[in-house]
Amino acid sequence: MSEVRVNFCEPESGTCDDQGGSSVDHVKSTSSEASRPDPQGLVPADHPSSDVSPSPSAETSGLLSLPWEMVTHIASHLPAHCVITVLPKVCHALSNVGKDSMAWQLRARRLIGSRANFPVGPREDFDWPTACLEMEQLITCWTNQRKRASGTAAKEDGREGEIEGVGVAAQEVAYGVDEGVEVAMEGEDGEIQPIVGGDQLVRLREELEERLEDNAAALIEEERDTMQRQTPRSPSPPPALECITLPSGHIAQVNSVLLVGGEGAVCATGSRDWNVKLWDLQAGSNGTLLHTLGGQGDFSTHRGWVWCLASQGPLLASGGFDSTVRLWDLEASGAKRGLIRAGAAVLCLSCQTDVLLAGTFNKRVNMYDTRAAEPLVKSLRLHGNAVMCLAADDNYIISGSKDCTVAVYDRRAGKVLKNIRLKSYLLSMSYSGSEIWAGDNRGMLHSFSMETGTLKPLSQFDVGHTALVTGIHRSPGSLYTSSSDRTVKVHIPSAPPRTLCTLHHHAGVNGLSVNAGVLAVASGDVCVDIWRPRK
């Protein structure tokens, strides 16, 4: 995107830079005179306007002297974060630029392209500004990250390929000359009929060799002169993201990872070594271990594999193969807050305010009140096999099972609204807004819309995963997926998804977590990688 420089006024000082030449009050008054009604609703009803936009006079200057359509067009070339956070601080008129839904939709279309559909789910009440902001940040960070990861190798490969190409071309030229002579000398009856004498052939070869030597010397000299004339290039800016690996704290595979505490400041990890650990990502260059969770006298957090994590506010819940859900208080340095016996291995968790949902190996979805001494509220039998993934809000519970079904339960009505059968079973699920994204055991992604309790399958996508999709995170403008095929992929959540970057690992990836632009990845080689904005 080309850089656009706009002369904005400083609201506090009431002055503009040397190109503006007017005060904020004057700009506001001239904007009222130069504005005109917009049939698409670009100008709010309370914004003063006239039926005809007069031509700017000699006294009128500044950005707001332009027709409103031109102002919005100029703003469309500014970064989304500037439109959202900076323009409202300039003046009331420019704050209205960020309220134009059509302008945000056009921006999203420009970012995605005309061939992809966006959003995948319902357009009503869709958060267009947030989606555009996230997409621009995603494209900037992860596209550059991919280029830097492969840039040096590609450059070297390209240089070698160019040299090899010249050699091959020279060989083909020499071979072609000899081959052409032989063909010309062969008659229709198969007898050799030379049309070029031996002396002539020797002379032609000598001339060709001299010409090739002269041309090669000229090219080398020209390249040397070009390199000497070139000015030194400034170093490229550092990548927007940095990757750190948490110190080795577990002695077995990390099955689950969760960013908690807001702003990606703390990371919780659950492992097959039966432990849950808390890491401070802001202390130290590679993070610092804060606590290994457990009660007094406990030699480990659980009595079996820790399989899943979930949090809401200061509450952290961990579920394991010891058939328990254990509750921890993040505000009290991870102190033990409670113990819930689930009756079977806990495979997935979902936290809402004062309510905890657990999907278990014995085909049930259990609802718990984390404030009560007897926490079990209800146990639901929604499937015919183990419950592998959960997503919920205040009204509905959506669950996926190994029996290849997806169920929707209405929490207020207390009944199952819908049960959908698929050809594969889901292992991971992300629910936000009116869209649900899920990954299955074949490496495919599924999208659903969720409106007024109606779950509607939308599309199925192949984004390149070849094994279980073990983790998925979707927001209005971002989509992250992980798989046991040893990859993590970053996409724009369009239909089809636009993949920006693929991260490769040495072992299968067991899960991921995303918060405030920070990505945490748990892999089978006892490692947790953190991708975060560079400070």
pLDDT in tens, 72-92: 888 999 999 999 999 999 888
Cα–Cα distance list, 398 to 340, 348, 358, 515 (Å): 22, 12, 12, 22
> Is residue 15 predicted with pLDDT exceeding 70?
no
> Is residue 234 predicted with pLDDT exceeding 50?
no
User: For residues 144 and 18, which has the higher predicted lDDT (pLDDT)?
Assistant: 144
Considering just the CA atoms, what is the radius of gyration of the chain in Å?
32
Cα–Cα distance list, 156 to 15, 138, 161, 162, 223 (Å): 52, 27, 8, 10, 18
> Is residue 123 predicted with pLDDT exceeding 80?
yes
* Mean pLDDT confidence for 167-174: 35
| Element holding 473 (H helix, E strand) | strand 469-475
CA 30 remoteness from chain centre: 42
User: Two tokens at 329?
Assistant: 């208080």
Give the pLDDT score at 531: 93
Give the pLDDT score at 499: 95
CA 139 remoteness from chain centre: 8
> Is residue 11 predicted with pLDDT exceeding 80?
no
| Element holding 181 (H helix, E strand) | helix 144-185
Give the pLDDT score at 31: 39
Rounded to an integer, what distance in angstroms lies between the CA atom of residue 278 and that of residue 42?
48
> Is residue 343 predicted with pLDDT exceeding 80?
yes
* Mean pLDDT confidence for 17-37: 40
Q: Give, as one character, the DSSP assignment of residue 117.
A: B
> Is residue 175 predicted with pLDDT exceeding 70?
no
* Mean pLDDT confidence for 468-485: 96
Give the pLDDT score at 533: 87
Q: Give, as one character, the DSSP assignment of residue 246.
A: -
> Is residue 267 predicted with pLDDT exceeding 60?
yes
- In SS3 terms, 302-320 reads as CCCCEEEEEEECCEEEEEE
Q: Which of 529, 450, 445 is nearest to 494 (CA)?
A: 445
Confidence of residue 238 (pLDDT cuts 50, 70, 90): low
Give the pLDDT score at 228: 54
Asked if 244 and 532 touch (Cβ cutoff 8 Å), the reply is yes
Q: Residue 11: what are its φ and ψ, rounded to 5°?
A: -65, -30
> Is residue 147 predicted with pLDDT exceeding 90?
no
* Mean pLDDT confidence for 366-373: 93
Q: Residue 30: what are its φ and ψ, rounded to 5°?
A: -70, -30
> Is residue 347 predicted with pLDDT exceeding 50?
yes
Rounded to an integer, what distance in angstroms lies between the CA atom of residue 141 and that of residue 139?
6
User: For residues 73 and 232, which has the higher predicted lDDT (pLDDT)?
Assistant: 73
User: For residues 420 and 186, which has the higher predicted lDDT (pLDDT)?
Assistant: 420
**pTM over 0.85, yes/no:** no
Give the pLDDT score at 421: 95
Q: Residue 375: what are its φ and ψ, rounded to 5°?
A: -75, -25
Rounded to an integer, what distance in angstroms lies between the CA atom of residue 389 and that of residue 3?
45
Give the pLDDT score at 299: 87
Report the mean per-residue pLDDT for the chain.
Answer: 79
| Element holding 267 (H helix, E strand) | strand 266-271
pLDDT-wise least confident of 200-209, 247-256, 360-369: 200-209
The strand pair at 498-504 and 415-421 is best described as unpaired
Give the pLDDT score at 51: 37
Give the pLDDT score at 258: 97
Tell me how crowded residue 185 is: count the other CB atoms within 10 A of its CB: 14
Tell me how crowded residue 464 is: count the other CB atoms within 10 A of its CB: 14
335-341: strand order across its sheet: 306-312, 315-320, 324-329, 335-341
> Is residue 458 predicted with pLDDT exceeding 50?
yes
Give the pLDDT score at 202: 61
Give the pLDDT score at 47: 43
User: Two tokens at 48?
Assistant: 């003063």
Percent of the chain at pLDDT above 90?
53
Straight-line distance from the first to the last Cα atom of the chain, in angstroms, rounded to the nearest whole number: 24
Which residue in the block uniquely carries the two structure tokens 């704050």? 95
Which residues does 164 contact at the CB level (< 8 Å), separation at least 6? none
Which residues does 215 contact at the CB level (< 8 Å), separation at least 6? none
Give the pLDDT score at 248: 76
Confidence of residue 139 (pLDDT cuts 50, 70, 90): very high
> Is residue 518 predicted with pLDDT exceeding 60?
yes
User: For residues 191 and 484, which has the higher predicted lDDT (pLDDT)?
Assistant: 484
| Element holding 381 (H helix, E strand) | strand 376-381
Task: Kindly provide the b/e burial profile for residues 190-211, where b requires at least 16 CB atoms within 10 angstroms of the residue's own CB.
Answer: eeeeeeeeeeeeeeeeeeeeee
Burial label for 40, CB within 10 Å (0-12, 13-18, 19+), is exposed
Rounded to an integer, what distance in angstroms lies between the CA atom of residue 325 and that of residue 104?
43
> Is residue 40 predicted with pLDDT exceeding 90?
no
* Mean pLDDT confidence for 420-445: 95
Q: How many CA atoms lie within 13 A of 155 on its CB side?
A: 6
Give the pLDDT score at 453: 73
* Mean pLDDT confidence for 105-127: 91
pLDDT-wise least confident of 209-218, 249-258, 357-366: 209-218
Give the pLDDT score at 64: 80
User: For residues 212 and 6, which has the higher predicted lDDT (pLDDT)?
Assistant: 212
Confidence of residue 186 (pLDDT cuts 50, 70, 90): very low
Give the pLDDT score at 46: 44
Give the pLDDT score at 492: 96
Asked if 501 and 210 touch (Cβ cutoff 8 Å), the reply is no
Give the pLDDT score at 525: 81
Confidence of residue 198 (pLDDT cuts 50, 70, 90): low
Residues facing 280 on adjacent strands: 266, 288
**What does the DSSP assignment read for 162-177?**
HHHHHHHHHHHHHHHH
